[in-house]
Amino acid sequence: MRTPRSARSARSVQVLAGVLLAASLALAGCSGANDSGDAKTAAGSAAQQPGAAGAKAEGAKSAPRAPKLTPGAIIRTASLTVEVKDVPKALDEARTTAESAGGYVGNETTSRDTEGHEQTRVVLRVPTEKYDEVLADLQGSGKLVDRTAKAEDVTDQVVDVDSRIKSQRASVARIRDLMDKATKLSDVVTLEGELSSREADLEALLAQQASLKDRTSLATITLALSETPVKKAAKDDTPGFVDALSGGWHVFVTMLRWIALALGAVLPFAALAALLALLWLRVVRPRLPRHAQPAPATTPVAPLPQARPVPDPSRAPDED
């Protein structure tokens, strides 16, 4: 028996309505659960915010500051020129200042200019931590004329040299271990050559490290001390007769000096030439063979014409 078509349609509508009702109830439960979970998460984050803020503040307070460069990694040099009234006294004070700071005097040079003013140049080596103090004391000893200061950061060089020394020492140790285990003479000879080369490199690195340590631990200050020049009274710079006479005499003396120098330079050559000429005339020339000169050719003399007798005017013509 067949079910009427209208009954089947009503049943389908009921089933569809039940499915839709169940789906809506499921969606409502999920949204409620999400809302409660979000509320709990928000409450937990709100409860944790004061603690997080306190942790951030504490971290900001305890954060380490940027490390400062140590004085041992900076090479400090300075140059001072100071005018003083008494150079020896100022030099003694500078030496005392350097030695009191734990330094020493490197080089010292003293001279006088054309006007008799004494000048001294001294190199002081002082500890880096006392550099500023010593520099202030030195420039306050008189009238400061010139000052130059320089600071060179060699931290990278120091770190690089230390690292290379460490590696080189490890390399030398490995070569020595290989030498202890070597059994062939050829291997021993090869390892000895390699060991000598690496030890030489290690010594060069150690010397570079010592130089860097010396230049960074002690600052270098070059101090130039000179007497204060005496002020001269103003005078007329127009040249007069005496100035002209003095200038002419200076020129004359200079010319005579240059002539004497020229004669002195030529005199050895003139003496040598005179000696050679004397040897030629006295020794060489008399020994040379002399050639006989040919006699001049004579021409035959023609007979002289005979003279005719002169007629006597006292004799008559018949007598002839």
Compute how many other C-beta atoms are within 10 angstroms of the C-beta atom of residue 318: 5
HEC string of the chain equals CCCCHHHHHHHHHHHHHHHHHHHHHHHHHHHHHHHHHHHHHHHHHHHHHHHHHHHHHHHHHHCCCCCCCCHHHEEEEEEEEEEECCHHHHHHHHHHHHHHCCCEEEEEEEEECCCCCEEEEEEEEEEHHHHHHHHHHHHCCCEEEEEEEEEEECHHHHHHHHHHHHHHHHHHHHHHHHHHHCCCHHHHHHHHHHHHHHHHHHHHHHHHHHHHHHHHHEEEEEEEEEECCCCCCCCCCCCCHHHHHHHHHHHHHHHHHHHHHHHHHHHHHHHHHHHHHHHHHHHHHHHCCCCCCCCCCCCCCCCCCCCCCCCCCCCCCCCC
Backbone angles phi, psi at 113, to 5 degrees: -85, -175
| Interatomic CA distance for residues 213 and 221, integer angstroms | 17
pLDDT at 53 (0 to 100): 40
Burial class (CB in 10 A: 0-12, 13-18, 19+), 122: buried
pLDDT at 114 (0 to 100): 76
| Interatomic CA distance for residues 69 and 76, integer angstroms | 13
pLDDT at 279 (0 to 100): 87
Give pTM, 2 decimals.
0.46
Task: Give every CB contact of residue 312 below 8 A, 6+ residues apart in sequence.
Answer: none
Tell me which amino acid residue 93 is.
Answer: E
Is the dihedral angle over the CA atoms 22, 28, 31, 32 positive or is it negative?
Answer: negative
Task: Give every CB contact of residue 227 below 8 A, 6+ residues apart in sequence.
Answer: 83, 84, 85, 86, 87, 117, 118, 119
Distance of CA 164 to the CA centre of its chain: 25
**Per residue of the chain (320 residues), what is the pLDDT tens digit?**
444 444 444 455 455 555 555 555 454 444 444 444 444 444 444 344 444 444 444 444 444 454 444 445 899 999 999 998 888 899 899 999 999 999 999 888 888 877 777 889 999 999 999 999 999 988 888 888 889 999 999 989 999 999 999 999 999 999 999 988 888 888 888 988 999 999 999 999 999 999 999 888 999 999 999 886 644 434 455 667 777 888 888 888 888 889 998 888 888 888 888 888 888 888 887 877 776 556 555 555 555 556 566 565 665 555 54
157, 212 Cβ separation under 8 angstroms: yes
pLDDT at 311 (0 to 100): 61
Burial class (CB in 10 A: 0-12, 13-18, 19+), 14: exposed
